[in-house]
């Protein structure tokens, strides 16, 4: 085998990739596994979204390479969506860049702004990709603690005491995954001021604002936030389009241009039909969100019951696509806990530790599972 690059030593196979292989193996042995691990929406996109992609495939030019910046109509639809839903103004010509899912944006932003040795502030617990991408580009992950006691929001006084001179990017994700915590406007104001003071690029990764959340918020609604902030967003969870791979990043023209410089050297545009479907989704009426949340709300009530059965505690006011539950006092560690349930009850739940050491003592249930399956899971106890 040809020797791989050194950077490959900095990352491991994604936990889900490994664990789901094991789960599939158990299924192949005939085990009736119920998978509550991953946040991949099982519901379908709306009818008008499906019609839009269907109709698009017969249009002239539909199968050619597309613009690196996406269709102007897509950028306009994103701008209108942000204006209507978050009261944020962004220029569709210069301040918005469509992405093939927000996950790729994490890599593009890192390639655009990080040199080897730069430090990156990453939430613990948080989305594991921030760490792996930071490592892949030769930068250095520096974790900040999120705890139940501080409302899963960074303690800026503690951060101020650290040497921040090498920090270039800070990843933020509100509503927070995995805990479902939200940030207040005051907290956003404070953290934007902190980023300005230390010349840090603050990136809010915001794919969960529309799931079980009555007050969607964007960090870009803070005055002059664009000076130091970017925001990633995604159609994956909001419109049940995870497999379509549509996301986008908003920010100042200078920051967006830097990301475009990377991205235009990596892909050759997003399929036309997917862009047409994305436009239709972004134009959805309020009813879409009401109906979506009715389903998730009913599922979440059942997940709460399941968590009660397991003796776990949780925050009923948390938002997003998951229930983050604290294990009962004196319980075994998270990974041992979920393994016991996997092997004894054929139920897969995510251990909190895959999101960082502060996830120890917690487990995460996904709401991407039918009510019948959740009831079946409860019955197994």
Ligand X SMILES: Cc1ncc(COP(=O)(O)O)c(C=O)c1O
Residues at the site binding ligand X, with contacts judged by CB under 6 A:
39, 101-103, 127, 173, 177, 205, 207, 234, 236, 242, 247
Q: Considering the complex, what minimum distance in angstroms separates the CB of residue 367 from ligand X?
A: 13
225 DSSP assignment:
G
Q: Considering the complex, what minimum distance in angstroms separates the CB of residue 66 from ligand X?
A: 19
Exposed/middle/buried for 167, CB within 10 Å: 0-12, 13-18, 19+? buried
CB 297 within 8 A of CB 367: no
Closer Cβ to ligand X, 164 or 358, answer by number? 358
Q: Considering the complex, what minimum distance in angstroms separates the CB of residue 208 from ligand X?
A: 7
Closer Cβ to ligand X, 103 or 346, answer by number? 103
Integer CA distances (angstroms), 300 to 73, 314, 374, in order:
36, 11, 9
Closer Cβ to ligand X, 38 or 378, answer by number? 38
The string of DSSP letters for 335-365 reads HHHHHHHHHHH-EE-EEGGGG-GGGTTEEEE
Q: For the chain, where are the alpha helices, taking DSSP H only?
A: 15-28, 47-56, 72-86, 102-113, 129-136, 156-160, 185-198, 253-263, 272-282, 286-309, 334-345, 371-379
The helix (H) or strand (E) run that includes residue 201 is strand 201-205
Closer Cβ to ligand X, 103 or 164, answer by number? 103
The answer to whether the bond into 307 is cis (omega within 30° of 0) is no
Q: Considering the complex, what minimum distance in angstroms separates the CB of residue 210 from ligand X?
A: 13
Closer Cβ to ligand X, 236 or 252, answer by number? 236
Closer Cβ to ligand X, 207 or 351, answer by number? 207
Q: Considering the complex, what minimum distance in angstroms separates the CB of residue 312 from ligand X?
A: 21
Q: Considering the complex, what minimum distance in angstroms separates the CB of residue 103 from ligand X?
A: 3
């Amino acid at each position: 085998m040809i020797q791989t690059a050194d950077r490959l030593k900095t990352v491991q196979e994604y936990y889900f990739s490994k664990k789901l292989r094991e789960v599939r193996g158990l299924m192949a042995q005939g085990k009736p596994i119920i998978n509550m691990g991953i946040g991949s929406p099982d519901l379908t996109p709306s009818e008008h979204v499906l019609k839009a992609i269907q109709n698009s495939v017969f249009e002239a030019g539909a199968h050619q390479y597309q613009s690196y910046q996406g269709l102007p109509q897509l950028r306009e639809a994103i701008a209108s969506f942000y204006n209507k839903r978050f009261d944020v103004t962004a220029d569709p010509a210069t301040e918005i860049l469509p992405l093939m899912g927000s996950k790729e944006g994490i890599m593009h932003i890192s390639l655009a702004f990080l040199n080897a040795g730069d430090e990156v502030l990453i939430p613990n617990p948080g989305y594991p990709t921030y760490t792996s991408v930071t490592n892949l580009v030769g930068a250095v992950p520096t974790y900040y603690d999120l705890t139940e006691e501080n409302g899963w929001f960074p303690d800026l006084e503690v951060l101020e005491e650290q040497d921040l001179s090498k920090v270039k990017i800070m990843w933020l994700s509100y509503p927070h995954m995995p805990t479902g915590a939200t940030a207040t406007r005051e907290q956003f104001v404070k953290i934007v001021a902190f980023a300005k003071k230390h010349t840090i690029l603050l990136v809010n990764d915001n794919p969960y604002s529309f799931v079980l959340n009555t007050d969607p918020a964007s960090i870009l609604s803070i005055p002059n936030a664009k000076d130091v902030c970017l925001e990633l967003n995604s159609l994956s969870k909001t419109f049940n389009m995870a497999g379509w791979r549509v996301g986008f990043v908003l920010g100042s023209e200078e920051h967006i241009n830097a990301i475009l410089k990377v991205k235009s050297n990596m892909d050759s545009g997003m399929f036309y039909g997917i862009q047409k479907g994305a436009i239709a989704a972004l134009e959805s009426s309020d009813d879409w969100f009401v109906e979506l949340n009715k389903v998730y709300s009913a599922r979440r009530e059942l997940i709460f019951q399941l968590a009660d059965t397991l003796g776990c505690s949780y925050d009923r006011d948390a938002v997003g696509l998951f229930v983050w539950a604290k294990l009962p006092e004196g319980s075994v560690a998270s990974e041992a806990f979920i393994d016991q349930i996997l092997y004894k009850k054929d139920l897969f739940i995510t251990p909190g530790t895959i999101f960082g050491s502060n996830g120890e003592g917690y487990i995460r249930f996904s709401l991407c599972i039918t009510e019948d399956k959740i009831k079946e899971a409860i019955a197994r106890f």
